[in-house]
Structure 1
């Protein structure tokens, strides 16, 4: 599977700062010092509908992580998956009377278009669950053969008790875990499981559903969590720098994935930091496909909304915050974009070197994009009120907004 073309990231004078970011597992800020190549894995979409603002907010957060690292003169090895076979996709295809693979391909293509429009930097490896199956099967076999997995009526389950560090990502108690497992794709009430929390690694073939050859596992398809583990271990190895996604992935997805990887390798932790973006609401409820309360990026673009304004709307909220999309949020972003573009369109302006450092400092401090926007706002206000004599300043501001914030002026 291919990703999307990268937009050029302008070079800035000087060098960025190491990123301090909130780690869900420890509950505090950690300073990441990745070395010359930073490694990040971000969980991708299940492509049964178009990219909504909640998706965009999540990928915007991890795009900022990439940009901060690039500004420190590091390379970034970014990996993202596509869950192109899963129950929600099959259910939507059946509802609409379409082929599930064609639906996945169609929505993945639309996602790429949205990412290009929003100037999201692409992953180096963009891997679908289906293409990862040859690498998933041997991992499930290894877990089973090591006693970390067991069979139940042809399905294969992971035993959470096989990982002594299970629970150290979410830090939730068993009651909370069980409730979330039931809400988020698990089957805690299935009879015969050793532990209600045990997640499925391999689902034996069901009539009328797609399946693949699974060696000694028999025909079937992979569970959700092992998919990401196989892709991450193959392309990044253990101990990579950031595991990212929305806050709804903390449990069970990231918890289970970490345990799978740790049981497979005997190493801990899978990732140095578990970083999670907040949820976006609409009309008082979390924006989600199941509720149908969605604002689609593609629809906004069709309505003529400048993607740079959509990006500014996302950046106006801290990535970890839960917030609500409203018409006012978009109108504020459009007004800000107009002010910024007007300010950089002049031939000269107030000096901008200090502004670049303010943006860098804000983003290095747990991706504080609202503070970064406020810094640019102050420069634009000075430009509109007093002007300046630095002929290079507007260009510096324009390049900094593009390089660090992904906003093309």
Structure 2
């Protein structure tokens, strides 16, 4: 069965989407009653196919192409990695991001990755053998008559045991059934293509019993498993069956409603020369009427990203802005500017003589180059009092590729520090 892949951007007008997709997004809570544009990055899987929403201003590949599948898979993997890296904070507060499908994604991708790497589960069986395998002397003595010799008794037949691995077992059948369920819907995330992964197990016999019986079979096998891989796979199968037990198939959503947090995290992870300045900056302290001075560390200065060229006084305060930034109406506002100017000043206090640059980093491409403060009377810019803020654009998919590979963007770092 051919998989249909449709590609969109975050902030796409809702009215331009197919009716079936609008309905699925409303049912899942992605689209609210008052929304005009989509606010979502990720994938929505329906009976009609797969719809992937990339970050705003992304240069999009064509739908239903090899490149489209490859980049869509790369993006969903990046979302998975981000949720894993930020799990403690997201679980506590969700960071205002509104995550969809986080737990299901980890289980499903884990199952597909395990199958692609290791194939079907093999059950270890111990069988009794004669004159091979590991000798069992207690059984040999009790079952065989020894042949007497001057050197002592000799047993002509030695009973033993050996391990045999069987893939045509109940656990393998359960795994095969689940992999075939997941193949058309989710395998593209792992493979980066529309190719099937379950062709070789189409003829596998079905497992016995209902979902409850399958869960019990897995729990029993867990008591006998010994290798890390076996235990990990059995737990994934158990989680998957527990999650789907008693439910009816519905549209699947994997992604983030508000992408700004992930945008900041990716930029912070891919820039070179990150300098942990937050712990060095002053924090506010409140004086009470009894004379006590109480520090409020949680209300302290926290910059997004600060760069410092090694062994120099060259700094840059970088603010990752998930804005359209295509004109004045979608440019950073006054609170954003004040924050940048203030953090540049704070760095100068921390390091006298510091040369501090300011930069906004936006997704995609755009017309803005710098933000200046302009004197209304003289019509001149106040660049000495208010250092200009550089506006830098970067294709999100370029950074996502580096983020997944654990690499740094040399070109973006140097562009900011120029």
* TM bracket (short chain): under 0.3
Q: Indicate the structure whose relative CO is greater, using CA pairs within 8 Å and at least 6 residues apart.
A: 1
Provide the TM-score with structure 2 as the length reference.
0.25
Larger Rg computed on CA atoms? 2
Q: As a proportion of its length, which structure holds more helix?
A: 1
